[in-house]
Amino acid sequence: MGFFLIWSPKTSDPIAMSTTLPQKGQKIKLKLIRESILPDNRNYYVLVDKQQQRFLLPVDFYRSYGLKPGTTVDVVVDHVNCNGRIFIEPEHPRYKAGSMARFMIETLYTSPSGFMPAVVTDAGDLEYGIVFPPGPPPPGKGVLLNIRTVSKGVVYPEWPAASSEKMKVPEFPVMANYQGTYCLQNEEKHHLLIFNHIPALVKADHSPWFNPIAGTEIECLLYGNKNGTWRAEPVNPAYPFGLRMTMEVIRAYAIDDLMRGLKQWIDVKDESGRAHTILVGAVSRYESGQMYPFRVSGYRKGRVVWEEY
């Protein structure tokens, strides 16, 4: 995913946003003028619209698209944030969100619930992990899947009838049934959990402390995934959801990231001496060496997410 900014010829710094903002889903034609390494030491495609307003796309996400300087690139506005930053997604050379495409089933696993984790490949032999309901075609057969979305150059196929949007995401931890651990795309291990007859996946390396027994109930938070499934985050027993703790601030700092904008962080140390990094609203509120209260608000790739309160 890329974004829009106006470029300062004197300082080469991003300085302002557009005064006329496009709407989410709007299609725009941009001209790719060059690749550039910017102050964050990342390589970007630099694109311009008819008004010569500049947009950036991280090269790492879209190298496989075959984008070349001097060509026109069709992009879609993914969203516009509260600061007026416009995030764009170039059209994939092969797939479009909402379309159907044929994939080949390479590997198919069984689970106690009947849901079947699988590895499928596209025409370019790229692998994708997916969870089928009971009764999919056998390995070696083709299957039509819906392209739910394309984000940061990654395609998210789904079984046409599957969608996490059919059910509201629970706001608090739920008990899900652990089905087993399976090797999906690129040999990455995933745990399969089932909640209310809906499958959810957990990357095994995101929660190394998580080692359940098949058939047991696991406390976890659920999040909607881009491929229409659930993403599960097991509750860390050392830091349960909602836990309140007073911690010492080690340092406070801000990072101005071209992709994410200005973010303010603090490093803290908890009662057991473990270090955590917390995203905060204003670092000016915090002094090194002082104690402040925080609360566990969730989990992200196995990492505890804290919030101010």
DSSP labels, 161-215: T--GGGSPPPSS-EEEEEEEEEE-GGG-EEEEEEETTEEEEEEGGG-TT----TT
One-letter-per-residue 3-state SS of 86-141: EEEEECCCCCCCCCEEEEEEEEECCCCCCCEEEEEECCCCCEEEEEECCCCCCCCC
Q: Give the tens place of pLDDT for each residue, 211-221.
A: 788 888 999 99
Strand-pairing partners, residue 104, are 121, 142
Q: What is the pLDDT of residues 10-23, one digit of tens each?
A: 333 332 344 466 77
- Residue-level pLDDT at 228: 57
CATH of 2-90, one of 1.10.260, 2.40.50, 1.10.10, 2.40.160: 2.40.50
Can you say whether residue 136 is alpha, beta or left, with left for phi > 0 and alpha for psi between -120 and 50 degrees? beta
Architecture of domain 164-234 in CATH? Beta Barrel (2.40)
Separation CA 61–CA 150 (nearest Å): 11
Instruction: Tell me which long-range contacts 157-162 makes (C-beta under 8 A, separation of at least 24).
Output: 157/101, 157/103, 157/120, 157/128, 157/130, 157/227, 158/130, 158/227, 158/228, 158/229, 159/130, 159/131, 159/132, 159/133, 159/228, 160/100, 161/133, 162/131, 162/133, 162/228, 162/229
Q: Going residue by residue through the chain, which has 309 residues, state the pLDDT in tens, using 9 for 90 and above.
A: 555 443 333 333 332 344 466 778 888 999 999 999 988 888 999 999 888 888 889 999 999 899 999 999 999 888 777 766 788 899 999 998 889 999 999 999 999 999 999 999 998 888 999 899 998 999 999 999 999 888 888 888 888 765 544 556 778 899 999 999 999 988 889 999 998 888 888 888 888 777 788 888 999 998 876 555 678 899 999 999 999 999 999 999 998 766 667 789 999 999 999 999 999 999 999 999 999 999 999 999 889 999 998
Tell me how far apart the alpha carbons of residues 27 and 24 are, in angstroms, rounded to a whole number: 9
Angstrom CA distances, 223 to 4, 106, 163, 171, 234, stand at: 28, 27, 12, 9, 11
| Closest by Cα among 94, 96, 134, 102 to 118 | 134
CB atoms within 10 A of CB 150: 21
Q: Which CATH superfamily is domain 244-308 in?
A: Nucleic acid-binding proteins (2.40.50.140)
